[in-house]
Copies of this chain bind each other. A is one copy, B any other.
Amino acid sequence: MPTTDRRTRRTRGLLRDALVSLVLERGYANVTVEDITERADLGRATFYSHYPDKDALLRHVVTELQEDLDERLRPLVPASSVGFTGKPALELFRHARENRDLYLLILRGEGDGRALRQFTDARTDAVRSVFKSRADHHEVEPRIDLGVLARAWVGEQLAVLRWWLETDPAPMSAEEATGMLQNLSLRGRYWANGFEGDPPDPAPTGPESP
């Protein structure tokens, strides 16, 4: 339900684009409301008739992105709770490529990291619920708390996503990147580093280990 008035839509879009480009250029703290309205070619008063402040604009932009992402992920999730298809990760990477600037802004923690926290937490919740239904469906007992597992997986995902978006020229396709990520995450670092077989048991980590 986008606002009906054409002027409003236009103005908010201009503000969004101006914010994103300016923040990537100078960093969130070095962008003023006047900078934004100037680049958007709008009066400063106009800004305040849409958002109470700079933070509110950023919050709105990020929330919008999340909703868009959720919509694209929704049809994929039932499938992924059955096997390890890697499809949600692929869709995330595609979505990120289509909204590269905004994703970079978020992943770099601009705006006091609030955007990144919001994004991370939302992803983590979604991932945890997929893990949960997968565990139930296959009747397996997770060896590690699913909340922790979800956090670790999201941390891994977003670190690689940031690398993939920042590296120029593009190092690989979204398919290749998520395939690699999937292999690393499912098989583990021991395998990824090039070793064969099972990793050694972790060294005893008591207060005095020889």
Contact = CB atoms under 8 A, between A and B. Distances in A.
A156 to B, nearest CB: 5
Interface in A28-83: 28-29, 55, 83
B155 A158 contact: yes
A181 B151 CA distance: 11
Report the copy number of this chain in the oligomer.
Answer: 2
Contact of A90 (B159, B185, B188, B205): B205
A159 B178 CA distance: 19
A113 B117 CA distance: 11
A205 B178 contact: yes
Interface stretch (A4-12, A13-21, A95-103, A141-149): A141-149
Contact of A202 (B135, B182, B203, B206): B182
A199 B185 CA distance: 10
A131 B188 CA distance: 14
A122 interface: no
A199 B87 CA distance: 16
Dominant secondary structure of chain A at its interface with chain B: helix
Nearest to A158: B155
Interface in A97-151: 108-114, 116-117, 120, 131, 134-135, 138, 140-144, 147-149, 151
A193 B156 contact: no
Given A140-B193, A152-B156, 6 more contacts: A29-B29, A112-B112, A148-B180, A151-B163, A152-B184, A187-B188
A154 B200 CA distance: 21
Contacts of A152: 156, 159-160, 181, 184-185
